[in-house]
Amino acid sequence: MQIINLLNISLFLPITFITSLTIIHYRGNRFIIYFYSYLRKIFISDKKSSIIDRYFFSLFIFIFSQFILSALHQPNFIKNNEDVYCLIVFSIIQTICFFIIGFYKNGIVNTISNFYIKTGNNFLMRALSFILFILNIFLDVIIKTLVIPTRLIINVFIGEKMHNVLLSLFMGETILLFVTIMKIALYFIQSYIFVYLSKSIYLHCTEKH
C-alpha cells in the first residue's frame, strides 16, 4: 500500500503542478477563447448581460481546473458507481458555493479581492495560490501516508455516511478529521483564487481580442 501511495504521489503531483501553473499563467489560448465564444452564443443571447458573461467564463475555467485538479489529486478515488455519484454531487455543491461567493464577497475574501483590484498586481494572487497548492500537496501526502480513505473527504462535505466520521472520532483519530477539514478549506480558498484569476484573464483577453 505504501509503495502504491508513493507511486501515486511521484506520478500525479508533477502533472498537477504543471496543470496548475498552466491555468494560473494562461494568457490567451485561442482554443479556449473560441470554445467559450461558442458556449456564450448558446447560453447567452443578450449582449448586455456583462455580469453573467463575466462569471460564466470564470465558472467555465473554474470547473475545468477543478476537474483536472480533483482527478489528479485523487487518482484512486473512483472505484464504483457510488463514488462517481458522490463526486458529481460534491462538484455540484462546490460549484454552487463558489458561484454564490463570486457574487457576494464578504470578509477576508472581499479584502483580498479589493486589494487585488486596486493594485492590479496579480503576482500576489499567484503567490497565494502557489502557497495553497503546496499546502494541498502536504495534506495529500499526510492523508496518503496515514492511509485515510479518500472518499471520507467527500462524505464529510456532503454529509453522507456520517458513521465513518463518528467512527474516526471514537477511534481517537480527531487529528485525521481535522486534516480532512483543512484540506476542504484549502480547496475552497484555492478554487476561489482560480475564479478571480480567470476573471482577470477574461478581462485581459477581451482587451486584446
Residue 160 has pLDDT above 50, yes or no: no
Whether the predicted model's global pTM rises above the 0.95 cut: no
Predicted confidence band at 6 (pLDDT cuts at 50, 70, 90)? very low
For the segment 21-77, what is each residue's pLDDT rounded down to a tens digit? Answer: 444 334 334 444 444 455 555 554 445 445 455 455 555 555 555 555 454 444 455
With H, G, I as helix, E, B as strand and everything else as coil, classify residue 64: helix
Q: Would you tell me the crossing angle of helices 50-73 and 81-103 to the nearest 10 degrees? A: 140
Q: How far apart are CA 117 and CA 147, in angstroms?
A: 42
For the segment 85-99, what is each residue's pLDDT rounded down to a tens digit? Answer: 555 555 555 455 444
CA 164, 165, 168, 169 dihedral sign is: negative
